[in-house]
Amino acid sequence: MNSMCLNSVIEKIFAGTWIAGPSIEDAISEAHKFNAVKINGIINYLGEEFNKIKNVDNAVEIYIAVIKEIRKKHINSDISVKPTQLGILINEKVFEDNYLKLLHFAKKYNVFIWLDMENAKYVNSTIKAYLNGLNTKNSGICIQAYLKRSIKDIKKIVARQGIIRLVKGAYVENKRISYNSWDKTTENYKRLLLYLFKNSDNFTIATHDLQIIKYAEDLNEKYNKTINFAMLKGIKNRRLMALAKKYSAYVYIPFGTAWLQYSIRRLREAGHLKLILKSLLEDQSIEKYKNGA
């Protein structure tokens, strides 16, 4: 098999499980399927680390088209954007201007917009842009539990009534600034989550870690909040459907052709071949389980 052919085989496998497909229509149609089982979408256009303004402008246009399609097709879906798609590599102002432009556009269409969190070097500027756009009240920001600074960031954002999507963190970071083991990251995730339960009225628990999900459900017995769970498409779809029966649930739906970097992060998280094969081969179809079968 030549490398181009191998590439397209791998792409097909990922496209079917972790990624909706290359086009906006693929993302919308995937969100529509999840909506039928009471799961809201979070649509993300694949691609990152853009250092050419034409790629940045193109990403902004694509998100505008996605927002319009969400409304036109009556889809329940947020969008999630990456600072490095919106121009942070060119300069902070380009990023922030693009983010605020999308935020105001999304507001007009009643669409919620998330800021993904990327490498630690972008955290300050990402939070700054987020706080500068808070007045529209249709935005949330991802915070990574593996970063030691995150408790401070969460306190600052929650004090301004910002909305947090808590994740473990998907990039490779320096040991000085991050918890470098699964145990410590998980422990910090729980600590941050407890803070959110005590101090925030609206936050999203974005994880596939079943012990964290159980911990959150237990905390909710005591704090009785409106909690949201979110997972990535194709990892534990059936588990998410079960959560959607009790809580509000979201699935992160990437689409586009730049699938490689996203897929490498997912492969790294799965850790070993057994889990990768399990998530790829396990029946992730949602239609079949619509009626709880």
Ligand X SMILES: Cc1cc2nc3c(=O)[nH]c(=O)nc-3n(C[C@H](O)[C@H](O)[C@H](O)COP(=O)(O)OP(=O)(O)OC[C@H]3O[C@@H](n4cnc5c(N)ncnc54)[C@H](O)[C@@H]3O)c2cc1C
Q: Does 259 bind ligand X (CB under 6 A)?
A: no
Q: Does 27 bind ligand X (CB under 6 A)?
A: no
Residue 81's nearest CA partner among 123, 141, 136 is: 141
Identify which range of 64-72, 173-181, 262-270, 283-291 contacts ligand X by CB under 6 A. 262-270
- Minimum Å gap between C-beta 191 and ligand X is 15
CA distance 249 to 260: 26
Please name the helix (run of DSSP H) or strand (run of DSSP E) that holds residue 250, with its range, or none.
strand 248-255
Q: Does 230 bind ligand X (CB under 6 A)?
A: yes
* Of residues 37 and 231, the one with the C-beta less far from ligand X: 231
Report the amino acid identity of residue 231. Answer: M
> Which pair of structure tokens corresponds to residue 150?
């995150």
Work out the burial of residue 272: count CB atoms within 10 Å of its CB; fewer than 13 is exposed, 13-18 middle, 19 or more buried: exposed
- Give Cβ neighbours of residue 62 (< 8 Å, ≥ 6 apart): 24, 45, 256
- Minimum Å gap between C-beta 291 and ligand X is 25
The answer to whether the CB of 197 falls within 8 A of the CB of 219 is yes
* Of residues 49 and 269, the one with the C-beta less far from ligand X: 269
Q: Does 269 bind ligand X (CB under 6 A)?
A: yes
Subset of 149-168 contacting ligand X (CB under 6 A): 167-168
Please pick, from the candidates 69, 78, 116, 153, the single residue that binds ligand X as defined by CB under 6 A. 116
Q: Which residues bind ligand X (CB under 6 A)?
A: 116-117, 142, 144, 167-171, 206-209, 230-232, 235, 252, 266, 269-270, 275-276, 279
